[in-house]
Amino acid sequence: MPDGKPIYVLNGPNLNLLGTREPEIYGRATLADIEKACAERAQQLGRAIVFRQSNVEGELVNWLQEARDKAAAVILNAGAYTHTSVALHDAIKAIGVPVIETHLSNPAAREEFRHVSLVGQAARGVIAGFGATSYLLAIEAAALLAQQQGQ
């Protein structure tokens, strides 16, 4: 039986296309593959996950607000919203739950417009550039943060 509140793993626009979308950048793992790996790693750490994806910015904001009461920590791959969404930035600041920004690729090594992260400015930390392993590293960090907070 998992301990405490779950870890929310929230995924933004176009991540539903993983496995076929620019595999040279994002790899061949599908979002379902990543969800399965995250659930397995979380279970090893005595945690459960809530794993979701939306192409809609407002839905991500709603899930962040839901996490305020229901999650021990949040892993957020906001996709392109990372660089544009003041709404996600403000939601992260408002919820009081640690948020870990996560990316498959390393945005700092890509196009210049990807170098600024509004999400990262509000997040507790950032894990990027390790492909699907970025999510597993984020699960470990989220479980540690939850434990430190007694969640």
Catalytic residue (one of 8, 81, 89, 103) = 103
Known catalytic residue at 115: no
CA 125 – CA 14 distance, rounded (Å): 23
Catalytic residue (one of 8, 26, 81, 135) = 26
Q: What is the torsional sign of CA 34, 31, 19, 36?
A: positive
Known catalytic residue at 26: yes
Q: What are phi and psi of 19, to 5 degrees?
A: 100, -30
- Kindly give the residue spans of alpha helices, DSSP state H, lying in 13-98: 23-26, 31-44, 57-70, 86-95
The total of other beta-carbon atoms located within 10 Å of residue 149's CB is: 13
Strand ranges across the sheet with 73-77: 49-53, 7-11, 73-77, 99-103, 125-128
Residues designated catalytic: 26, 103
